[in-house]
Amino acid sequence: MAVLILLCAIWGFTQVTIKLANAGFSPLCQAGLRSAGSALLLWGWSAARGVPLFRRDGSLGHGVFITVLFAAEFVLIYEGLVLTTAARAVLFVYTAPFVVALGAHVFVEGERLRRLTVAGLVCAFLGVALAFADALRLPTRSELVGDALVLGGAVCWGATTVAIKASRHVHLTPNKTLFYQLAGSALILLPLSRALGEPGVTHPSAVALGALAFQIVIVAFASYLAWFWLLARYPASELSVFSFLTPLFGMAASALVLGERVGPALALAMALVALGIYLVNRPRA
């Protein structure tokens, strides 16, 4: 639990670093560079630790599948954010834990959906909705399209987690699971950025480069590797509910670093998310 809370704090701060890096790199280019840099780091780390990444083990098809889901998640969310507001996007992105819970119930042996799990997920989601309620309003037509794209990204995020957890015939190390996604998404996102006419690298200031370096080393390499290590050992739904903490940490980080306004509802939102986490992880009677 302590590791998960730390990971959510890192991912929440990532929202700030993405904004800072956007000043020097276009969105898909930034995501592709992050994946490419982290893949190189993971390659070196795995070689030093003696963890094979290129041994033939029959996992290529599975690896391609989770890579496509991983890349599609980024494309849909980034493109959706162009059309909808950040507050609306957060709500749709964090439908992903519901996808994980339902998918694990259907495809993962031993992870049956309980009423307490559903209650906990709803409670945590309401906490996030409360935190962002001030910025919500009736959507325009373009925002509805953006909402649909972000929702598609959330489904891809949840489906990736379920696919990794449900693979009974493919036994991958956390290193190789992550390497598939990082290397594969870099090969997809960088050419896609160019094909869509993004400017790519625009003004690589020290701040933008530092923000990108944080994403490469701390986020996509260290924190994602820790996440896949946890995912290999614990139930997916019990892990995914912690992700509701991420946007709340992001709000706090935005207030501290960027000076953005945070309402008093954040404390109540944190309490609701904490209650939701407790309900999902409450031991079975």
Give 158's DSSP letter: H
215-237 pLDDT, tens digit per residue, is: 999 999 999 999 999 988 888 88
Q: In DSSP terms, which residues pair with 25 in a beta bridge?
A: 201
Instruction: Return d(Cα 172, Cα 179) in angstroms, integer.
Output: 11
Query: What is the per-residue pLDDT across 97-134, written as a single tens digit (0 to 9) for each?
Result: 899 999 988 888 878 888 888 888 899 888 888 877 77
* 243 burial level (CB within 10 Å; 0-12, 13-18, 19+): buried
Residue 188 in contact with residue 31, Cβ under 8 Å?
no
The reported pTM is 0.83
Task: Kindly list the domain boundaries of the chain, sorted by start residue.
Answer: 2-50+58-281
Per the DSSP assignment, residues forming a β-bridge with 201 are 25
